[in-house]
């Protein structure tokens, strides 16, 4: 009979011929039972092989051609939509060969392409490790959407969450709702590592003005505040007519 050996999505199914025992028919239905047993052996071989997980394989020639084509599009196309789609497609391939072109795309002139490149690096998983430095660099990107996607990728690569908080706070102001939701989700449960927060405060009377003669009527004030954050809650009193930035670390 024929038995499947090590089937995996990436490779053709291989079969082997297994010697059969001499037929010993004891009744009119014995041959039917032998067929059932053979079928069960085949199924068992498939189940055991699938349980071991798919083998890691190199890109097929066709997949490599796709990577090369998308990389060329990212590098040379003047069409933003084409570059963005190429970055998305490279993320779906999920291969180490896609990381280089996606890393380079983090420096694209268009924010939507940079965002998609960061998102794709997040989705390819651990193979994106060579892109850590480039992802860190775009945590200060002018686009909040880029920052929040880069933060997601970096967290998946083992970067401490405390390094990603500012990017995620910026992500709350992202243009796309999905980015704002992602930023808010990732900020839930954040616990500051320091007992004090840095406060930047700009306040003064509504009539106060900075002039050439008096340029310091209203200036930012820096101070520290012991937040006593517990179970995600704390209390801070904002002075009237003020703008405040609270930085937790």
Q: Where are the domains of the chain?
A: 2-51, 61-187, 196-206+218-247
Residue 150 has pLDDT above 90, yes or no: yes
Report yes or no: 209 and 160 within 8 Å, Cβ to Cβ: no
Provide the 3-class DSSP secondary structure of residue 205.
Answer: coil
Q: Lowest mean pLDDT of 117-121, 202-206, 222-226, name the range.
A: 202-206
Band of residue 53 on the pLDDT scale cut at 50, 70, 90: very low
Question: How far apart, in whole angstroms, are the C-alpha atoms of residue 110 and residue 84?
Answer: 9
Q: What is the average pLDDT across 6-10?
A: 42
**CB-count burial class (<10 Å; 0-12, 13-18, 19+) for 47:** exposed
pLDDT digits (tens, 9 = 90+) for 75-118: 999 999 999 999 999 999 888 999 999 999 999 999 999 999 99
Q: Lowest mean pLDDT of 32-41, 111-120, 150-159, 205-214, name the range.
A: 32-41
pLDDT over 70 for what percent of the chain?
A: 75
- Identify the DSSP state of 240: S
Q: What is the average pLDDT across 30-51?
A: 39
222's CB contacts (< 8 A; 6+ apart) are: 198, 199, 200, 201
Report yes or no: 236 and 225 within 8 Å, Cβ to Cβ: yes
Sign, CA torsion 173/175/181/186: negative
pLDDT over 90 for what percent of the chain?
A: 50
Q: Which fold has domain 61-187?
A: 1.25.10
Q: What is the pLDDT of residue 231?
A: 59
């Amino acid at each position: 009979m024929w038995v499947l050996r090590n089937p995996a999505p990436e490779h053709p199914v291989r079969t082997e011929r297994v010697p059969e025992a001499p037929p010993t028919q004891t009744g009119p239905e014995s041959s039917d039972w032998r067929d059932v047993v053979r079928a069960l052996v085949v199924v068992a071989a498939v189940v055991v092989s699938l349980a071991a997980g798919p083998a890691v394989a190199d890109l097929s020639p066709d997949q490599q051609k796709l990577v090369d084509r998308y990389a060329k599009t990212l590098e040379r196309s003047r069409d933003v939509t084409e570059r963005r789609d190429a970055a998305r497609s490279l993320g779906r391939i999920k291969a180490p060969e896609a990381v280089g072109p996606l890393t380079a795309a983090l420096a694209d002139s268009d924010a939507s392409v940079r965002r998609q490149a960061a998102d794709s690096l997040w989705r390819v998983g651990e193979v994106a490790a060579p892109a850590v430095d480039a992802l860190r660099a775009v945590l200060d990107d002018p686009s909040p959407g880029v920052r929040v996607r880069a933060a997601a990728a970096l967290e998946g690569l083992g970067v401490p969450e405390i390094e990603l908080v500012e990017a995620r706070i910026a992500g709350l102001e992202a243009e796309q709702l999905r980015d704002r939701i992602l930023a808010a989700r990732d900020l839930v449960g954040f616990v500051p590592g320091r007992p004090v927060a840095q406060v930047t405060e700009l306040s003064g009377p509504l009539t106060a003005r900075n002039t050439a003669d008096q340029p310091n009527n209203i200036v930012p004030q820096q101070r520290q505040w012991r937040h006593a954050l517990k179970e995600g809650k704390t209390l801070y009193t904002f002075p009237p007519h003020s703008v405040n930035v609270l930085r937790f670390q």
